[in-house]
Amino acid sequence: MTPLLELEGLSIRLPTPDGLRAVVHDVDLSVEAGQIYGIAGESGSGKTMTMLSLLGLLPRGGVASGRATFDGRDVLAAGKQARRSLRGKDLSMVFQDPMTSLHPMLTVGRQLTEHARLHLGISKAEASRRAAAMLEEVRIPDGEAALRAYPHEFSGGMRQRIAIAIALMCEPQVLIADEPTTALDVTVQAGILQLLDRLRRERGMAVVLITHDLGVMSSIAERVSVMYAGRVIEHGDARDVLQRPGHPYTRGLLGALPQPGAGAGSELRAIPGVPASPLDPPPGCAFHPRCPLAIDACRTAVPPLIAGASEPRHAAACIVTMADIAPRASTGSEVTP
Ligand SMILES: Nc1ncnc2c1ncn2[C@@H]1O[C@H](COP(=O)(O)OP(=O)(O)OP(=O)(O)O)[C@@H](O)[C@H]1O
Ligand SMILES: [Mg+2]
């Protein structure tokens, strides 16, 4: 199947007091129609910036390089006009903080209908009808009244669901959902995940799901990429990555999952040490200072993604755990500048 969204060697530099600095390196990613693609990783690993670059929404002065295509069209090279028409209708994003994406002074109805009228060329009445139906889909009670209300009249969880409804109004082909369920309680979270899964099945919508929560990931994602300090350090089918993680970092993240049956109050095991900043990563493998398996070679060269011997679609950037096939794959390895 041809991918709907494809990133090849995507890198991002952002302005800092020390000039332009790389925060995302060489990301490859390929999302097919009807697929839920999960992106996991600790805070600051570059998940949001990677996706913002596709919409042309990097912080001012940010530069994306490499290749990104949507349905064969070059997204990074697209002009402002083309980007705007892509945004909302083809690629739509639910932002991490719903309060930054909802306008406080405009009614929910106006925010839901405006883009739809523009992109789909539908009447005001038709847009309102759709908006009320979409609010029902995301389980906002009394859609008609909600259309006339302002964002501050809703709870945080409801605002998050309104932001999801706005992103879905134009029936995008790819929905980028940045931590869409983090602020929600478990029941509402399950409802949102079911909704995303249904839209995937019924409309062939693809979803890029960014989350810290590997439990959420394992319940609906088909493919997964794990990021650390601005790089993808492991990717593969969700089942393979979550059941047989190759990278010590992914293994650490999974160790932080609550144990099934452990009951409420069980401790989460966090990975010792602090996440590396992509702005100033340690040399070699950025995870080496926190890695119990690190050897000298990990401190000198950035390890390449090495495919598994039995599962070529599953790869991890670790020269220790993937050592059985490292000699063949490490020829293309990059050396830290
Ligand atoms: N406005 C900015 N200017 C300069 N650097 C920034 C800016 N915003 C973020 N960064 C840098 O970019 C890196 C990646 O940030 P990004 O927001 O993509 O992380 P993330 O993986 O989405 O984290 P989180 O899980 O906390 O949302 C951060 O580590 C930070 O160093
Ligand atoms: Mg983020």
pLDDT in tens, 281-295: 999 999 999 998 999
Q: Show the tokens assigned to 144.
A: 């008609």
Q: Is the pLDDT of residue 273 over 90?
A: no
For residue 330, what pLDDT is reported?
41
- Ligand 1 centroid to residue 38 C-alpha, Å: 18
For residue 259, what pLDDT is reported?
53
Taking the C-alpha atoms of residue 333 and residue 304, their distance in angstroms, rounded to an integer, is: 5
- Kindly indicate the confidence band of residue 308, based on its pLDDT and cuts at 50, 70 and 90: confident
Specify the higher pLDDT residue, 267 or 134.
134
For residue 206, what pLDDT is reported?
96
- Ligand 1 centroid to residue 228 C-alpha, Å: 12
Q: Is the pLDDT of residue 144 over 80?
A: yes
Mean pLDDT computed over 264-271: 56
- As a whole-number percent, the residues of the chain with pLDDT over 90 amount to 60
Q: Which residues line ligand 1 (CB under 6 A)?
A: 14, 16, 23, 41, 43-49, 59, 96, 277-279
| Per-chain mean pLDDT for the chain | 87
CB atoms near residue 72 (< 10 Å): 9
- Kindly indicate the confidence band of residue 88, based on its pLDDT and cuts at 50, 70 and 90: confident
This prediction's pTM: 0.89
- Ligand 2 centroid to residue 82 C-alpha, Å: 25
- Ligand 1 centroid to residue 104 C-alpha, Å: 25
- Ligand number, closest to the Cα atom of 281: 1
> Which atom of ligand 1 is nearest to 227's Cα?
21
Mean pLDDT computed over 158-166: 89
> Which atom of ligand 1 is nearest to 42's Cα?
25
Specify the higher pLDDT residue, 209 or 118.
209
Specify the higher pLDDT residue, 147 or 261.
147
Mean pLDDT computed over 264-282: 76
